[in-house]
């Protein structure tokens, strides 16, 4: 039951190391060292959000935003296509910033146990979730007006992989520090409340081709799916999860997560057929 969750962990680790190597190598290349075949790669070149913020410039004058590479556009299209089918897989499986927050959260889980990720009341949390869309609008507007990568000075992802270079603004260090502290109390705080790219990919959850579905006939209402969801989605009450914060992490599914009843929580295109026994529940 944990097979694909372990695969996700290895993929997250591999991508984090890959991006770290690119960031360090880019700095070494500038001093005449580094790995030759990665000499043109940089942190901006492997960030698909760069393609999003460049769209306006490309449409209006055919140029990229300063520091953005053509590879960002290619990656943007790849991530968009995958999100169309399975939602924000990039967020749950690839993004190094999301991985870093999960690793930091391990400390918080050991300290606070079951209280971890439950500190913010739902009455407040439900409004905080929309902050990232406000940030997204601000970034797109300012980038279009200035033609520069405005978010870099506030981006904890950029700071995490460039903090030793002297190119990071004080605001970047403050943002990363806040993310680290908040990750001790809340799982993936940056993803939930501030990530502009997560906001873009979250929209795909509303019409993704293969959504997460719950079989109400076999569900035993154990609510384990709710407890393990890093994004605090109430999965146990949904027939089909269309929440804009789902990151397709597979943690709650029957095959790859904690759901104890096979065929109850799955990513599938078609709906579950009604049980001939009606609403009778399957017991452990």
pLDDT 10s per residue in the chain (284 long)? 455 557 899 999 999 999 999 888 877 776 767 677 666 667 777 777 776 666 666 666 666 666 566 777 788 889 999 999 999 999 999 999 999 999 999 999 999 999 999 999 999 999 999 999 999 999 888 887 777 778 888 999 999 999 988 889 999 999 999 999 999 999 999 999 999 999 999 999 999 999 999 999 999 999 999 999 999 999 998 889 999 999 999 888 876 667 888 889 988 888 887 765 544 444 44
Say what the pTM is: 0.86
- Rounded to whole angstroms, the Cα distance separating 97 from 44 reads 14
Instruction: Kindly provide the b/e burial profile for residues 71-102, where b requires at least 16 CB atoms within 10 angstroms of the residue's own CB.
Output: bbbebbeebbebbeebbbbbbbbbbbbbbbbb
- Rounded to whole angstroms, the Cα distance separating 51 from 147 reads 13
- Residue-range domain boundaries for the chain: 3-205
Q: CB under 8 Å to 181, separation ≥6 — which residues?
A: none
DSSP H helices, the chain, are: 3-29, 49-61, 70-86, 89, 96-112, 122-128, 131-146, 156-162, 170-183, 189-193, 196-202, 224-228
Tokens standing for residue 205: 């959850």
Residue-wise DSSP of 165-226: TT---HHHHHHHHHHHHHHTTSSSHHHHHT-HHHHHHHGGGGT-SS-EEE-TTT-----HHH
């Amino acid at each position: 039951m944990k097979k694909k969750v372990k695969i996700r962990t290895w993929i997250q680790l591999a991508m984090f190391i890959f991006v770290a190597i690119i960031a360090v190598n880019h700095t070494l290349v500038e001093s005449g060292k580094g790995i030759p075949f990665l000499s043109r790669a940089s942190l901006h070149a492997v960030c698909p959000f760069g393609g999003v913020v460049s769209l306006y410039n490309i449409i209006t004058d055919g140029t990229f935003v300063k520091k953005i590479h053509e590879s960002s556009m290619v990656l943007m299209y790849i991530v968009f296509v995958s999100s169309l089918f399975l939602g924000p897989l990039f967020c749950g499986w690839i993004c190094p910033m999301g991985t870093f927050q999960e690793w930091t959260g391990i400390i918080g889980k050991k300290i606070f146990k079951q209280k971890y990720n439950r500190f913010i009341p739902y009455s407040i949390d439900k409004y905080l979730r929309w902050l990232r869309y406000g940030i997204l609008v601000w970034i797109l507007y300012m980038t279009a007006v200035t033609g520069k990568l405005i978010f870099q000075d506030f981006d904890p992802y950029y700071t995490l992989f460039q903090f030793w270079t002297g190119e990071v603004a004080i605001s970047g260090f403050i943002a990363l520090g806040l993310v680290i502290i908040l990750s001790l109390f809340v799982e993936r705080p940056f993803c939930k409340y501030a990530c502009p790219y997560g906001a873009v990919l979250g929209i795909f959850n509303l019409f993704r081709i293969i959504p997460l579905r719950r079989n109400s006939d076999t569900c035993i209402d154990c609510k384990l799916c709710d407890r393990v969801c890093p994004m605090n989605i109430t999965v146990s009450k949904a027939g089909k999860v269309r929440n804009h914060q789902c990151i397709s992490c597979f943690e709650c599914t029957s095959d790859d997560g904690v759901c104890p009843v096979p065929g109850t929580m799955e990513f599938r295109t078609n709906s579950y057929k009604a049980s001939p026994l009606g609403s009778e529940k399957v017991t452990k």
